[in-house]
Amino acid sequence: MAQQDTVEPTRRDFLYIATGAMGAVGAGALAWPFIDQMNPDASALSLASIEVDVSAVEEGQSIKVMWRGKPVFIRNRTAKEIEEANAVPLADLPDTNARNANLAADAEATDVNRAVEGNEALIVMVGVCTHLGCIPLGQAGDFGGWFCPCHGSHYDTAGRIRKGPAPENLLVPPFEFISEGLIQIG
């Protein structure tokens, strides 16, 4: 008869495996409260998205809402403002990236890529200057868009940086229309 290469597991082998498994379960149970405490609390999650009624925003009017502790500018632009924004060549822009969370990361900073699809008059942007985090003033500056008086950054009516120390266009947050005249930001 040939000698077998396999050895039957003993009771000691079973006890080693069972002890190791129980130790792993215990370590996981001990670590879980520390891992779970890193999740955001309910108050932070409630700020993750907001709904904004934009049906009352008339042409030429802007509103400001707060989202995640930051101001969000929503403007219903005039036909003249849209025309001026469309007339700007991309080569004249310091930042040619759209900075629109709703589009691909490499989308160009055309007026259409910065505005709301299907309602190009409406523009939604996080109202924080990309230079040092100041809050720009609306309908101000050399281009009729936003102006940050702290350091002199000028944004056009599409929220694109045109002049000053700010390195990037104002950010367009993730948003979508959830019904006629109602958008959800976040």
| DSSP assignment letter at 90 | G
Pair of tokens at residue 46: 């409630």
Angle at the Cα of 103 from the Cα atoms of 46 and 107, rounded to 5 degrees: 140
Q: Which residues are catalytic?
A: 151
> Under a CB-based contact definition with an 8 Å cutoff, are residues 184 and 175 in contact?
yes
Listed in sequence order, the residues at least 6 apart from 145 whose beta carbon sits closer than 8 Å to its beta carbon are 138, 139, 154, 155, 156, 157, 158, 159, 160, 162
Half-sphere exposure of 143 (CA within 13 A, CB side): 25
